[in-house]
Structure 1
Amino acid sequence: MQYRILPVTPFQQNCTLLWCPETRKAALVDPGGEVDRLLKAVESEGLTLEKILLTHGHIDHAGGTAELARRAGVPIEGPQAEERFWLEALPQQSRMFGFPQVEQFEPNRWLEDGDTVTVGVQTLSVLHTPGHTPGHIVFFHQGANLALVGDVLFAGSIGRTDFPRGDFNTLIRSIRTKLWPLGDDVNFIPGHGPMSSIGRERRTNPFVAEGL
């Protein structure tokens, strides 16, 4: 599995272009905006976009989804169904945070814990990781030791829990019971900021490190 991180929107959200090296088929994970730029990135890598994957429904992660799906003619997979209210509120979110007006949409496929998604011939596992939002999910590719964790975990920090239906204790439980077991050698792409590893955060992250 190969990838390219494309920070988008004023929030510098990490949209990830993820692709299968065998088939050159690709997914865009969390296309928050700047759709023209995202499509150009797909083209510049010589890829065929086959789907959109979403970790959760916040505007900086999902704001470009409806436009991208329409223009590229691709389906939307994820997040988990508890995220419906956030997706329905995308037009309101765009006004609140000063984004261009965006469209509501419903994913072609809601995802649940234990599901899998494919990109070309590559398979990623789906982990339901509520706390930042109730329907947040993480995508994990075992062969590449790579997780796309959205706004659950960051290098040195964790996701906010002060949004509607966020919950701090639930988020901590998601990190410790869903992410830690992936293994210390797993690298992850967070929703914002630099990549890190599960092992590094388990040892040093001031919010969730073991023994601190």
Structure 2
Amino acid sequence: MKALIVPVTPFQQNCSIIWDERSKRAAVVDPGGDLDRVLAEVDREGLQLEKILLTHGHLDHAAATAELAKLRGLTIEGPHRDDQFWIDQLPEATQRFGFPQAEAFTPDRWLEQGDQVTVGEETLEVRHCPGHTPGHVIFFHARQKFAWVGDVIFAGSIGRSDFPRGDHDTLVRSIRENLFPLGDDVRFVPGHGPLSTFGQERQTNPFVADRRFR
């Protein structure tokens, strides 16, 4: 599997284009906006988009989802159904933050802990990781030890938990019990900022490092 990160929106959210090298079938993870830039990269690589994967329903991750799905005839998979209330707020939220007007939508498939999603012939495992939002999920490619984690964890930080139905303790549990066991050598794309590894965050992240829990 190959991946290309395209930072989008004024929030510089790490939208990812991921694809199966053999078939060139692809998905967009978290299309928050700037579709002209995202689709230019899709077309430059000669990819066949087949779906959208969403980690959660915040506007910088999901605002362009309905538009992209209509433009390219794509299915929408994720997040967990507990984020429907965030998706329903997208029209109001985009107006409030000065984003292009977004449509609310209902995903074609809600995701649960232990589900799998496919991109071409590649398979990603799903982990439900609430705390930042109640329906947040992450996508894990086991063979390449690579994960797309949205706003659950960042290099040196973790997601905010002061949004409606967020919870700090739940977020920490999601990270330590549902992400870190995947392996110290797993690299991850966070929703914002540089890539890191779970091992690096276990050692140095001030919010979830092992030393805080001994």
Q: How far is 1:37 from its partner?
A: 1.3
Alpha-carbon distance between aligned partners in 2 of 1:102 and 1:21, rounded to the nearest angstrom: 32
> Which residue number in structure 2 is paired with residue 34 of structure 1?
34
Higher mean displacement: 70-79 or 36-45: 36-45
List structure 1 runs of 4+ shifted beyond 3 angstroms. none
Alpha-carbon distance between aligned partners in 1 of 2:36 and 2:110, rounded to the nearest angstrom: 26
- RMSD of equivalent CA atoms: 0.6
Q: How far is 1:114 from its partner?
A: 0.5
Q: How far is 1:46 from its partner?
A: 1.0
State the Cα deviation string for residues 87-132 of structure 1 (Å, max 9, x = none).
0010111122111111111100001010000000000000000000
Q: What percent of counterpart residues are identical?
A: 62
The gaps in structure 2 that reach 5 residues or longer are: none
State the Cα deviation string for residues 30-83 of structure 1 (Å, max 9, x = none).
000011111111000111001000000000000110000000101000000000
SS of structure 2 residue aligned to 1:203: helix
> Which residue number in structure 1 is paired with residue 90 of structure 2?
90
> Which residue number in structure 1 is paired with residue 117 of structure 2?
117
Higher mean displacement: 92-101 or 121-130: 92-101
SS of structure 2 residue aligned to 1:169: helix
> Which residue number in structure 1 is paired with residue 77 of structure 2?
77
Q: How far is 1:13 from its partner?
A: 0.1
Alpha-carbon distance between aligned partners in 1 of 2:130 and 2:93, rounded to the nearest angstrom: 20
Alpha-carbon distance between aligned partners in 2 of 1:5 and 1:36, rounded to the nearest angstrom: 14
> Which residue number in structure 2 is paired with residue 203 of structure 1?
203
The gaps in structure 1 that reach 5 residues or longer are: none
SS of structure 2 residue aligned to 1:52: strand
Whether 1:169 aligns to 2:172 is: no
How many pairs are equivalent? Answer: 212
TM-score by length of 1: 0.99
